[in-house]
Chains A and B, each alone.
Chain A
């Protein structure tokens, strides 16, 4: 086979950034090929504030030790919005991250970014997806004001729009590669607040578990969120977590996924384009998911990224990858999400 011409230099491979909601998940990510993991503290300062998840100082230290031993990096997400009379909790979380020696903090709140930049000038700052920066003007403002070195883009842009941002900013761009998909713009969704008074921005959690009630009926299982009926499962149907936007609602006498069907984002098919445009990192969603999920997704993405490295148009998606990812995808469905919008 003759060599295909390669006019442009192949950029360095994007970093694979994987979720760790627990120490076992962190180790699973590192063992299966993550370049970096992201973690959060056990409180409302991070956007996956679920009971039984996340890290205290002891487990964070152990996680850092494990990562450093393997030459990998640890980022700490402190990516809810500081509020109430005492925003000191968020500032102390930043101080704690700096003391622990994490490789970067992932922040959304402009006031907190300002605090981190002033108080810990050596601490590397990433702009969280919750920061809602969807255009290069917003990304560049975060760079000018706080010295942000990387921004995670909300999952609303097409691949061309992602490229356009990359071409107009000195800030590294991180994009989501796999995980549960929401219909909203990150950092701007009020739906969970409407139903429960708590949302990712305010309490680090969408459709909080404490508002969830399961009601077994003769023919069905009802899932309610703060009293609101989110879904009703027949005996033969697998029941999912009653996330507000992914429920089945009655609209004009029809009951269906009126807002969005439960779906996972999966960009494996687009990896060559993602690599070629200079994306700095690919992120996997799911700090609320099990170590087994983290291991599976990390392993597949590692293999796919390595295969895509330098192969350009010869890259082919292995059916085994998609099968493996399909098993752990939310709603057992996968999509390219906003990255591909042929109807535009």
Chain B
């Protein structure tokens, strides 16, 4: 999969708080789309339990049957033992890779010998850290999109543009 040289198309995890039915409908459709990779799972909030961990895993395995690369995205903020238990079930799903969004997830994937995607919520800001994460087992990195007034094209920040002062010394 990662040896393909052509540019691939990936679908990121749903960050919205959709109902279970909407989620299932969405992925039933996504299975038909010309995607190479599908990331799925609850990344945002531990309290969202519309889709249970086991259902995310089943959904991931079903999607994998459609021939796509499937990656289970892990929660960004892991606070409780319940969070860690869910994380372990994802890492031990036995079939598809995971996207680690916390160093704890990277540790579990490494222990399991499971290659993983270094997700956007890991703080990777330089090549040394990226190399380190690769040594832990990362085979791909999803860089965080970092909003930045000074570095991003202005067109990508329509909301901010109208607030921008005429001159911004030091900016």
Contact = CB atoms under 8 A, between A and B. Distances in A.
A in complex with B: yes
Interface of A: 81-83, 87, 108-112, 114-115, 131-138, 140-142, 144-145, 156-157, 161, 164, 185, 187-188, 190, 193-198, 201-202, 210-211, 213, 224, 226-229
Given A83-B126, A196-B149, 16 more contacts: A109-B123, A109-B126, A110-B129, A110-B133, A111-B125, A111-B128, A111-B129, A137-B84, A156-B77, A156-B79, A164-B80, A193-B148, A197-B148, A226-B164, A227-B168, A228-B160
Given A137-B108, A141-B103, A226-B171, A197 B125 contact: no
Interface in B76-94: 76-81, 83-84, 87
Contact of B164 (A108, A132, A185, A227): A227
A82 B125 contact: yes
A193 B147 contact: yes
Query: Which interface residue of A137, A141, A197 has the most chain B CB atoms within 10 A?
Result: A137
Interface string B52-86: 00000000000000000000000011111101100
Contacts, number: 134
15 contacts: A83-B125, A111-B128, A114-B128, A115-B128, A135-B83, A137-B105, A137-B108, A142-B103, A190-B144, A190-B147, A193-B146, A195-B149, A196-B149, A201-B123, A211-B171
B104 interface: yes
B149 A134 contact: no
Nearest to B159: A194
A135 B85 CA distance: 12
A226 B147 contact: no
A51 to B, nearest CB: 11
Interface in B11-54: none
Contacts of A197: 148-151, 171
A211 B103 CA distance: 33
A197 B170 CA distance: 12
B10 interface: no
Main secondary structure of the interface of B (DSSP, over half): loop
Given A110-B129, A210-B171, A135 B104 contact: yes
B126 A210 contact: no
A164 B78 contact: no
A81 B125 contact: yes
Contacts of A142: 103
B158 interface: no
Contacts of B160: 194-195, 228
B121 interface: yes
Contact of A188 (B76, B79, B104, B105): B76
Interface of B: 76-81, 83-84, 87, 102-108, 110, 121, 123-133, 144, 146-151, 160, 163-165, 168-171
Task: List 4 A-B pairs, minimum CB-CB distance, nearest first.
Answer: A111-B128, A137-B104, A111-B129, A197-B150
Given A111-B126, A227-B165, A133 B80 contact: no
B149 A135 contact: no
Contact of B146 (A138, A185, A187, A190): A190
B125 A133 contact: no
Contacts of A111: 125-132
B103 A138 contact: yes
- The residue in B87, B164, B171 that gathers the most chain A C-beta atoms within 10 A of its C-beta is B171
Given A109-B126, A110-B129, A137 B149 contact: no
A213 B165 contact: yes
Nearest to A142: B103
Given A82-B126, A109-B129, A133 B103 contact: yes
Contacts of A135: 78-79, 83-84, 102, 104
Nearest to A81: B125
A35 B149 CA distance: 41
A134 B79 CA distance: 6
Given A211-B171, A226-B168, A81 B79 contact: no
Given A195-B149, A195-B160, A226-B171, A87 B104 contact: no
A335 to B, nearest CB: 18
B65 to A, nearest CB: 31
A108 B79 contact: no
A184 to B, nearest CB: 10
A188 B149 contact: no
